[in-house]
Amino acid sequence: MSGGPKRMWGGRFAQDTDALVQAFNASIDVDRELALDDIDGSVAHATMLGERGIVPEADARRLVEGLEALRGDVAADRFDFQVALEDVHMNLEAALTERIGPVGGTLHTARSRNDQVATDLRLWLKRQIRTLIELLRRNRRALVAAADRHFGVILPGYTHLQVAQPVLFSHHLLAWQEMLARDEGRLADALARMDESPLGAGALAGTTFPIDRHRTAELLGFARPAANSLDAVSDRDFAIEFLAAAATCMMHLSRISEELILWSSREFGFVSLPDSHTTGSSIMPQKKNPDVSELIRGKTGRVYGALMGLLTVMKGLPLAYNKDMQEDKEGVFDAVATLRACLALQAETVRLLEPNAERMRAAAADAYSNATDLADHLAKNGVPFREAHDVVGRLVAHALERGVPLEELSLEEMRAVDPRIDEAAFDALALETVVGQRDVYGGTGHERVRARILELRRELGDDHEPGPGTSDPGAPEP
């Protein structure tokens, strides 16, 4: 180690650290991301040390001034991080001591790198989650705006990827919105649970100094200090919970992407994706590839991997801190960056996509998606539903043989299958009727979807001008 930075823990060691061990042990290439959060924690700690008289107030002021100068260098990317100093904590402390002298060594009074890193990661993740929640809100607003803009477009709904029943395209978009609303709720729940400060827990047992952990928690914007020092330094549940929420959100984005990929294919032709968010082929000039949606679908695995990686790191660790936990950050950092990029791109894709209303309607009409409504019509006129189901099944078979939709069968053809069918059956088969009669809370009926759009616009603070879906001020509430 001669000629390089001095180890800040080497007093009891007779030999220098092996170069390979030093490189293997260091985390600075990853945890330098926490530098500004580490400075925040140090400023709060130094302030409290001065207020409590643990260090002289003048020394505390020098510590804070030195840390603020370091903040400027880090923010401007002028700070030289060194592998020999292992991690972000010791890099910053060494630089501080070099700048302000021996008083810099008092900064580590009554704390440990164990409570430092746990505090830093919580601070960093709290900030990132707030950004992700706003991105989720942006996506939800984009979906509600698209549902409003394209109100009235009829889309075939699917089960088993087979046409099932027609729905409003707006209703489908709002189903995606519900997924992302739950994701927002999960992140908000995780944020509330992680809102406690480990600072002051020390290495594992607290400290003999008369510190004020409530004060440092307050200075750092935490709701409370962690209640148990052993748990405070060894808990990574907050990171696991975030990764679980992120993985679920990526699963939702992947499902949305899968539908956009299918719908934009020539075989479906339901939507046109924006040129700005698609790519071409190096060999096939006709191609328009949904690469953004495919990459979102593919990157879901990265976030799943981060979750499984941290669960595996933590599964066998005894209390309290173990070096294994150095592996907690890289996956979290990558998951945040991945989710942030995917959310930003998905919002723009939704904002710019255009549905092919004619193609959607034709697909719904051609696949007997109104068959259940004819059965319902018969049931409402006294035919037991199981009998009605059988009658309509035979009518579908007859229509398939003729190659026509149900509504193009004559009344005589229908009555030949069951004489209880009346002229009103044709009204029941009209797609607008099929959609509109599902007037139950949460259903695809026009008034229900219109009311939900209005409700969501209020919830999301979206004050744009009403579109065709919400132009009726007298639309009933659900």
Give the catalytic positions in this structure.
160, 281
Residue 53 has phi, psi (to 5 degrees) of: 75, 15
Residue 163 has phi, psi (to 5 degrees) of: -60, 130
Closest CA to 449 of 150, 141, 139: 150
Residue 298 has phi, psi (to 5 degrees) of: -70, -40
Q: Which two tokens stand for residue 52?
A: 């409590």
Query: In this structure, are residues 223 and 138 in contact, taking their beta carbons and an 8 Å threshold?
Result: no
Q: What is the DSSP letter of 325?
A: G
> Which amino acid makes up residue 330?
E
Distance between CA atoms of 155 and 359, rounded to whole angstroms? 9
Closest CA to 42 of 135, 141, 109: 109
Decide: helix, strand or coil at residue 96: helix
Q: What is the longest distance spanned by two Cα atoms in the chain?
A: 101
Cα–Cα distances (Å) from 102 to 56, 95, 99, 113, 449, in that order, read: 13, 11, 9, 19, 68
Residue 158 has phi, psi (to 5 degrees) of: -125, 145
> What is the number of other CB atoms lying within 10 angstroms of the CB of residue 305?
15
> Which amino acid makes up residue 192?
A
Distance between CA atoms of 275 and 288, rounded to whole angstroms? 8
Distance between CA atoms of 364 and 374, rounded to whole angstroms? 15
Residue-wise DSSP of 14-60: SSPPPHHHHHHH--HHHHGGGHHHHHHHHHHHHHHHHHTTSS-HHHH
